[in-house]
Structure 1
Amino acid sequence: MNLNTIAVLGGGPGGLYAARLLKRSHPDAEVTVYEQGLPDTTFGFGVGLASRTQRNLRQADEQSLDAIVSASHPHEMAMRVGDDEVRLAHGELLAIGRATLLSVLQRYAEEAGVILRYGARRSAGELAADLIVAADGISSATRGEFADEFGPSIAEGDGLYLWCGTEFALPSAVFTPVTTEHGTFVAHAYPYARDRSTFLIETDEQTWKLAGFDVSTAETPNGESDQTSLDYLQDAFAKTLQGNRLIGNRTKWLRFRTVRCRSWHHRNIVLLGDSAHTAHYSIGSGTKLAMEDAIALDRALLAADGLEAALDAYELERRPAVEHLQAIAERSMAWWDSFADRMTIPVAQLMLAYMTRAGKVTVERFAESAPHVVPAGLAAFAAVAPADVPAPGAITDWILTRPLVHSTHRFTGRDAPSGLRDTTRTARVTVTVRPWSDEAAAIVAGLPPAGVYWLEGPDDRESTLDRLELGERIRLATDALVVADVPAALRADAAAALASARVDLVAFTR
């Protein structure tokens, strides 16, 4: 395909990376990046790079990935509740300062022959390029300009979060909650340089309002940081901060926005990264998605004979992976939004619940990578010694055969007896809604008095995961025994739900 001119709107990581790849693949084309900001100004702190993302970037462009890795900071991961902590040894987790990442990508884009234009806003409608790549972020002006064609929908999360940082390197990434007089705040914090760490802090709306942050948010001008919140959170997380201060960079409370679009391209304009889609930061960064979009777009343009076919192929390849990640991310976001309700769970078991929260990781797989954590978590679940927990490979069956005593009930294993379904103390609940939706809240609020709630519904995996998550919501709201139907093929999901205290029993269906 002959492309003479390529315009990229947005000089973030996705736009710069796409420009470099496209210039390398189309060396005779004029590739220009238009960024309204200046090259040495950015907002944000660190960017995480998981091992799979690193592999994808290495296959696409080993040279730039080597430069990124050399400027990155490796770290492990921990979860701490009060004085109890578990740590995961993970040698492939990296983080890099956003400004540093942009500097690397700017350099490599220019080295490839990309023209970088800063300090002026340009719109897709005014550019006369053969291909226009709109990498202009979550508030994409391009998506808004052609809203009828792209068909965007944007859903806001229930919780609130803010990004800030501190001027020292944490010993590892850490997930840790603190409870103040107003409620619970949860920090996701990680080091990204020898003297810098990112702090992402979340809370629920009630706590946010009780702390007065609805007022401080409203009073903080755009482009400035909410110093009232930073001062409060600095005191709240003083132990984790080790006497260091929290710093802001346009830091204000936000609700996460999940962006979806009916189409990712229109004529010669294609959306990339956050302009096309977002997934909650707890499961994968927007930077990762945007750079992987760039790889797929470059590959599609090389393989197709025409632009329309190439953009169709790009969307056909990327959409299933993005939508799958968005589904996982929604579960993860809901889990974090309700984190405060789980703080009585022993920390090793809580780490197990965290790792399996979205259906992406099984208990068996986690046990293989964290042999010092999973036995402690499963021991807490089963009320046994860690030494009594079997090795990976036998864990799923072991979980399903653990006895349970619940009120007057005694069970020799976690597969519910069929006779329990039809007792007078059992309420059967058909679940066909997302577990943390308003409709699910109505179901929980309207539950009839019962000693047992038996959850039924469709047998596909997504519906089963929904049912198991709603089970946790019912367990948190009642003292009843909670049972969920699970297809026999999803034994691993059943085991994860049981070990993570989402349900008490499961009933296997064909």
Structure 2
Amino acid sequence: MKLTTIAVLGGGPGGLYAARLLKLSHPDAEVTVYEQGEADKTFGFGVGLASRTQRNLREADEASLTAIVDAAHPHEMSMRVGDDAVRLAHGELLGIGRATLLTVLQRFAQEAGVVMRFGERRSAADLDADLIVAADGISSATRSEHEAEFGPSVVFGDGLYLWAGTDYQLPAAVFTPVTTEYGTFVAHAYPYAEDRSTFLIETDEETWKRAGFDVTTEQTPNTENDEVSLTFLEEAFRESLDGHHLIGNRTKWTRFRTVRCANWHAGNIVLLGDSAHTAHYSIGSGTKLAMEDAIALDRALLAADDLESALTAYEEERRPAVHYLQTIAERSMAWWDDFPERTSIPVAQLLIAYVTRAGKVSLERFAATAPQVVPAGLAAYAGVTVDEVPGPAEVTEWVLAQPLSARSLPTRTAPAELRDAPGTVEISTQVRPWSAEATALVEGLSAAETYWLVGADDREAVLDRLDLAERIRRSTPAVVVAEVPAALRDVAAAALVSERVDLVAIGS
């Protein structure tokens, strides 16, 4: 298929990367990026790149990835609750300043022959091009202008967050809560330069209102910083900041928006990155998804004979991966919304709960890759010494074999007779665990000694059941049991260690 003109709307990482790849694949085409902002001005602080993302980018374009890595800052990960802290060695996590990343990608796009048009706001209707790539972000004007064709839905999260930075290189990425007179605020922070770190802070709506930040949010124009919030949070997180300042960049409280679209292309217009889909920041996926979209789009255009076939193939390839990450992100967002309720868990055990929260990483895999952390967390769960914790291959069965002292049960596998015992109430789990229906279910529970949760055996249904089990467990003194098929024993073990459920009933 021959493309003569390609227009890219949006000069963020996804748009720039797509422009370079498309120009390299179609050297005779005129590829132009239209960015309404200036070349040297951007919003945001650091961008995180995980190891798998780096591998995908290296396979697609090794030269640009090498330059990105050279300009990035490797770091480890940590979690701290009060004076209790744990650090996880992780040599493949990278942070890079958003402005630095854009500079690298602008250079590589221009070297490939892409025309850069900064300070120009264009719409798809203004352009006469064979292909228009709309990489114009979460508030995509292209998506709004063609709403009927793309069929977008936007769902707002319950919690609130603000994106700030600091003039300080954190020693490692850190997740840490601070409890104030108004409630708990949680920081997600990581270094991305020798003198800079991203410092994102989130909280629940009630805490936000008690602190008066609903008022400051309303009073702060979109072009300015909520200085009242930044000043308060700078003091609240003084220890983590080591006395340094929080830096704003149009920083004010907002709710995360999960964007989904029924269609990603219409005619010669195709959506890419946040314009088509978003996934919660706690899985660090925005830049990753956009740049991997660009790879898939380039590949589809090379393979197809016509534009419609190419854009259909692009969408068919990317939808499953995006759906998977959005599902994980939804669980992760809900986990962080409730994070303050978990801070009584020993921090090494809490880190296990964090890593396994969405069912993406198994307990055995994490035990194999983090021998300096997982044994301590498992020892805290079982109330034993670290020396008594087995190796990674045995941890699943070992977790299941631990006693539940509160009910004088020898293992964490529920005995069959408990299901029919007086005081046991069976709950069929057919609702999303964070939905209004789930809230009504939890609030309407009658007094019972044991709640036994049953439902479908597919992975997503089991993960939903365990998330609902945690909600029930936090709201009642009853013992909570969840049925889990034998094929998902590792998921059951992670849920037990994470204190999401008291017992599991392992099926066939």
Letter in structure 2 aligned against 1:125:
A
Letter in structure 1 aligned against 2:149:
E
Aligned-partner SS, 2:432: coil
Give the Å deviation of 1:125. Answer: 1.5
Q: Name the counterpart of 2:69.
A: 69
Q: Name the counterpart of 2:418.
A: 420
Preserved CA contact (<8 Å) 1:296 1:318: yes
Aligned residues: 508
Q: Name the counterpart of 2:345.
A: 345
Letter in structure 1 aligned against 2:506:
F
Q: Name the counterpart of 1:433.
A: 431
Distance 1:451 1:327 in 2: 32
Distance 1:363 1:79 in 2: 18
Q: Deviations over 1:221-263 (max 9, x none)?
A: 1111100000000000000011101010000101010000001
Letter in structure 2 aligned against 1:432:
Q
Q: Name the counterpart of 1:167.
A: 167
Give the Å deviation of 1:508. Answer: 1.5
Q: Name the counterpart of 1:38.
A: 38
TM-score by length of structure 1 reads: 0.99
Spell out the pairing of 1:118-157 with structure 2 (5 A cutoff). Answer: 118-157=118-157
Aligned-partner SS, 1:255: coil
Preserved CA contact (<8 Å) 1:187 1:200: yes
Tell whether 2:474 aligns with 1:481: no
Give the Å deviation of 1:284. Answer: 2.6
Spell out the pairing of 1:184-195 with structure 2 (5 A cutoff). Answer: 184-195=184-195
Structure 1 gaps, min length 5: none
Aligned-partner SS, 1:91: strand
Distance 1:103 1:116 in 2: 12
Q: Name the counterpart of 2:205.
A: 205
Spell out the pairing of 1:178-327 with structure 2 (5 A cutoff). Answer: 178-327=178-327
Letter in structure 2 aligned against 1:421:
R
Q: Name the counterpart of 2:408.
A: 410
Aligned-partner SS, 2:392: coil
Give the Å deviation of 1:193. Answer: 0.2
Distance 1:378 1:503 in 2: 15
Distance 1:434 1:223 in 2: 37
Tell whether 2:34 aligns with 1:24: no
Distance 1:368 1:402 in 2: 20
Q: Deviations over 1:1-28 (max 9, x none)?
A: 1000000000000000000000000000
Distance 1:310 1:92 in 2: 34
Single out whichever of 415-424 and 17-26 deviates more from structure 2: 415-424
Distance 2:483 2:78 in 1: 33
Q: Percent identity?
A: 72
Q: Name the counterpart of 2:499.
A: 501
Give the Å deviation of 1:288. Answer: 0.8
Distance 1:415 1:134 in 2: 52
Distance 1:120 1:94 in 2: 32
Distance 1:287 1:226 in 2: 25
Give the Å deviation of 1:422. Answer: 1.5
Distance 1:436 1:374 in 2: 28
Distance 2:274 2:382 in 1: 42
Spell out the pairing of 1:313-392 with structure 2 (5 A cutoff). Answer: 313-392=313-392
Letter in structure 1 aligned against 2:29:
A
Q: Deviations over 1:101-144 (max 9, x none)?
A: 00111111000000011112100112110000000000000001
Letter in structure 2 aligned against 1:43:
F
Distance 1:436 1:410 in 2: 32
Preserved CA contact (<8 Å) 1:47 1:285: no
Preserved CA contact (<8 Å) 1:203 1:337: yes
Q: Deviations over 1:417-475 (max 9, x none)?
A: 11111122111111111112211111110011001011111111101100011111111
Distance 1:333 1:161 in 2: 11
Letter in structure 2 aligned against 1:484:
A
Distance 1:285 1:505 in 2: 33
Distance 2:226 2:467 in 1: 35
The CA RMSD over aligned residues, in Å, is 0.6
Preserved CA contact (<8 Å) 1:428 1:456: yes
Aligned-partner SS, 1:295: helix
Letter in structure 2 aligned against 1:54:
Q
Tell whether 2:396 aligns with 1:396: yes
Distance 1:110 1:67 in 2: 14
Distance 2:175 2:99 in 1: 24
Spell out the pairing of 1:3-22 with structure 2 (5 A cutoff). Answer: 3-22=3-22
Runs of 4 or more above 2 Å deviation: none
Give the Å deviation of 1:285. Answer: 2.5
Aligned-partner SS, 1:435: coil
Aligned-partner SS, 1:335: helix
Preserved CA contact (<8 Å) 1:137 1:273: yes
Aligned-partner SS, 1:464: helix
Give the Å deviation of 1:192. Answer: 0.3
Distance 2:294 2:109 in 1: 13
